[in-house]
Amino acid sequence: MNTSLSVLHVLTLTHSSFVDYCATKAGAWMVHDGLAAELRSIYKATGVKTTSVHPGWANTPLIKDHVETIRKSMHVMEPQEVSDAVVKQ
């Protein structure tokens, strides 16, 4: 008997910055953990892999007015850096 395994990869992307965004990031992480738990325990979907990505600062419109200040003390990733890291997962 031939059995094929399909793997679905669920991805959650968030960005850390200000308090409201940090709260959103934490919320996204908890939704991700809840989804992963439901997939395992309720749906027995062992072939579904989930990943929650929480990059640091990324050079997006969100930080355009502050990017140079942030770069003085932290690395600011380009969006391509983030997407390349996600694809390598």
Asked if pLDDT for residue 56 goes beyond 90, the answer is no
Question: If you ran DSSP here, which 8-state letter would residue 62 be given?
Answer: G
Do 69 and 49 meet the contact criterion of CB atoms below 8 Å apart? no
pLDDT tens, residue by residue, 10-36: 555 555 556 766 787 788 899 999 999
Domain boundaries, the chain: 8-84
Question: If you ran DSSP here, which 8-state letter would residue 87 be given?
Answer: H
pLDDT tens, residue by residue, 31-53: 999 999 999 999 999 899 888 88
Distance of CA 14 to CAs 32, 37, 51, Å? 11, 20, 12
Pairing status of strand 48-53 against strand 8-13: parallel
